[in-house]
A and B are shown apart, each in its own frame.
Chain A
C-alpha cells in the first residue's frame, strides 16, 4: 500500500494554513461563479485563472480544486432552485431536484447534491490515488499511434455520438480544429493561418476560446434575446439543509451507483460528464419503476443523488487522468493543463517521476477541495441563490468585465481580447442554432496532439497507413469506436422510424 505513504506525504505538503485559506476562497469564488446563469465550472476556472498566477503551483492547484468543485456545486444549486442548471452536467439532477424544491424540500435536495458530490468525488479520487503509479506506468505504453487513436475516438464520440445532429457536431469539430491549427507548427517551424500577425504565432489560447465561446457567447446570446418575456420561478431554500436518517439511507445506494457510472467516464474523452449523469439518472429511474410506490416524477431523492455523484466522480477521475496521463478530457481539464504549462510543469508520467512530491500534493489537494466543498456549501447553499437577486443585466455586465480581465490577465495582449470578441460572436451563432460547444473544445484541446502524433506515426512508418493500427491498444480503440458508431446509427435509425410511425 505504498500509495498511502505517498498520499500522506502529499497531505503534509498541501495542508498548510495558507493553502487551506486558498482552497476556501477558491470554493467560495467557484460556487459564486457556478451559480451565475450561463456560466459553469469551466468558466469559473477560466475566469479565476489569473488569480492564481501569483501563487506557487501547489497553492494554485489547491485553489483550482476548490474553484472546480465549487463551480460544479454552483451548477447544481441553480438547477435545483431555478430549474436552470449552470452546466450540462447538472441537467440530469435537475429533473427530480427541482421537483423536490417545488415540493418544499429544497434544502434536502441541496444536501443530497452536496453529499453526493462529496461521495462521488471521494471514491473517484481514492481510485486515482491508489492507481496513480500504475496509471502513470500504463501511460508509457501509449505511443504516437495510440494517442492518435484516442484523439480520433474523442473527436468522433463527441461530435457524432453525443451530439444530436451529426452535421452540427462535425461543424463544431472543424471550427475547433481550424482554431487549433493557428500558430507556428511545432514540427516544421512554418507559420500557419496567422495572416502574418505576430501575436498569433503562439496560437489561440484555450482560455481565449473557452471564455469567448462560453462566457462572452452567453452574454451576447442573452443580449440577442433582450426584450422577450422571461419567467423564472425561484424557490426559496430556507430551512435546515440536513438529511434525516431515512433520507440518508435512501440516498446512499444511489450515491454509490452514481459514482460507479461516473468513475470510468473521467478517463474517456467525450467532452464532459453529461453521459454518466444521464446514465445514472436512467438507472435510478428504471430501478424506481420496479418499486411498489414509484417516487420519480414527484421529487425522488435518488434522482438527485445518483447524477450528482456521477458528475463529481467523473470530475475526480478527469483530474486524475490529467495528472497521471497528461490527457485532458474536458474543457476544465484543458484549462488546468494550460495553467500547469505556464508553471513549466508537464502533467503525466514525467510529473510523477520528476516532481513526485508535487504530484502527490496535488492529489491530496483534490481530497481537501472535496471536504471544503461539503463543509462550506452544505450549510450555505441557500444563500448562494441570493446572488441571483442581483439584477440580471448587472450580473452579465460584471461577467463581461471578468471575461476581459481573465483574458487580459492571462496574456496581457489586446489581440487576445479582440479574439475573444470574434469567438464570442461565433459562440452566439452556435448557441442560437443549437450547435454543441463540446466538439469545438475537444478539437481545440486534442487537435494539436492529434496532429503531432499522426505526423509522427506516419513519419516513423514512412507513409504506411498500417502504422496507425500497429498495436493491440489501437486495434481495441478503433474497434470500440466502430462498434459505438454502428450502435448509434442503429439507434438513430430506429428512433426515426418510430417517430415516423
Chain B
C-alpha cells in the first residue's frame, strides 16, 4: 500500500491517524453499550456471553487511547518525518487507481492527499440509493442507477452515453445471472411474474 506524506502532521497522521483512533474508540463504546444492555438469559453459564465482549472492549479501549495519545504526542513534535522515500520524479509507475500494492517504485510525495469528498459521496450515495430502491424498483433500474452513479462519481462527463452503458450492463447482468443461473433478482416495477 502506498504511504502518503502530507505537509503538516505527517508523522502523526501516518503512524497514528486520528480517524482511526476515533473509530477504535467508537467500537469500544459500541461494545460497552452492547455489554451493558445485553439481555442475558438466566440459563447462561459462566463464562457467559458478556465475557468475550468485555475482553475485546478492554483491548479496544487500550488501543484507542494509545492511538489517541500517540497521535497527540507526534503532533506536538511536528517533525515532518516521511516514512517512505519520496520518488524524485513524479512518473511513479505505480498507478494511483490501482495501488493495492506498489512494488519497487515509491509513490510520488508531491501530490496532495486530500480526500475528494464529492467523488466519495457520489459513489457512497449511489450505493445507498441502490439499497433503498432495489426491492421496490427492481434490479434492472437500480443497478443501472448504481453503475451510473459510480461513473459520474469517478469523473465521467458523458451523460447520455454512460447512462446507456449503465442500462445495457445492468440488463446483461440480469440476463446472465437471473435467466442463466437462476439467481433471484428483484423484478420490481418492471416485472410481471
A167 to B71 Cα, complex, angstroms: 11
Contact A226 B155, beta carbon cutoff 8 Å: yes
B149 CB, min distance to chain A CBs, angstroms: 8
Interface assignment of B135: CB less than 8 Å from any CB of chain A: yes
Contacts of B185 in A (CB 8 A): 405, 408-409
Query: Smallest CB–CB gap between B137 and chain A, Å?
Result: 12
- Report how far A424 CA is from B49 CA in the complex, Å: 28
| Interface of chain A, main secondary structure | helix
Which of A54, A175, A401, A435 is packed against the most chain B CB atoms within 10 Å?
A401
Tell me the complex Cα distance, A430–B19, Å.
10
Cα A225 to Cα B99 in complex, Å, equals 11
Answer whether A83 and B143 are a contact pair too, CB < 8 Å, given A54-B183, A458-B47.
no
Once A and B bind, how many residue pairs between them come within 8 Å at the CB atom?
271
Convert B28-45 into 0s and 1s, putting 1 for each residue whose CB lies closer than 8 angstroms to a CB of A.
101100100011110111
Residues on B with C-beta less than 8 A from A408 are 134, 185
CB distance from B84 to the nearest CB of A (A): 10
> Within residues 35 to 61 of chain A, which ones have a CB less than 8 A from any CB in chain B?
37-38, 40, 50-51, 53-54
Partner of B155, one of A88, A189, A227: A227
* Inter-subunit contact A397/B147 (CB<8 Å): yes
Chain B interface bracket (under 10, 10 to 19, 20 to 34, 35 or more)? 35 or more
Q: Would A193 and B131 count as touching, CB distance under 8 A?
A: no
* Residue in chain B with minimal CB distance to A51: B181
Contact with A along B123-149 (1 / 0, CB 8 A): 110111011001100000001001110
Is A79 on the interface with B (CB-CB < 8 A)? Answer: yes
Task: List the A side residues contacting B47 at CB < 8 Å.
Answer: 454-455, 458-459, 463
From A188, A228, A233, give the contact of B111 (CB < 8 A): A228
CA of A498 to CA of B46 in the docked complex: distance in angstroms?
49
Q: How far is the CB of B1 from chain A (nearest CB, A)?
A: 5
Q: Is A414 an interface residue (CB 8 A)?
A: yes
Other A-B pairs, 13, CB within 8 Å; known A54-B183, A181-B56, A400-B126 = A98-B104, A170-B59, A224-B116, A225-B97, A226-B116, A231-B92, A392-B154, A394-B165, A397-B146, A401-B147, A426-B23, A454-B52, A458-B46
Interface CB pairs A-B, < 8 A, 6 = A94-B103, A178-B60, A189-B44, A409-B177, A418-B128, A421-B131
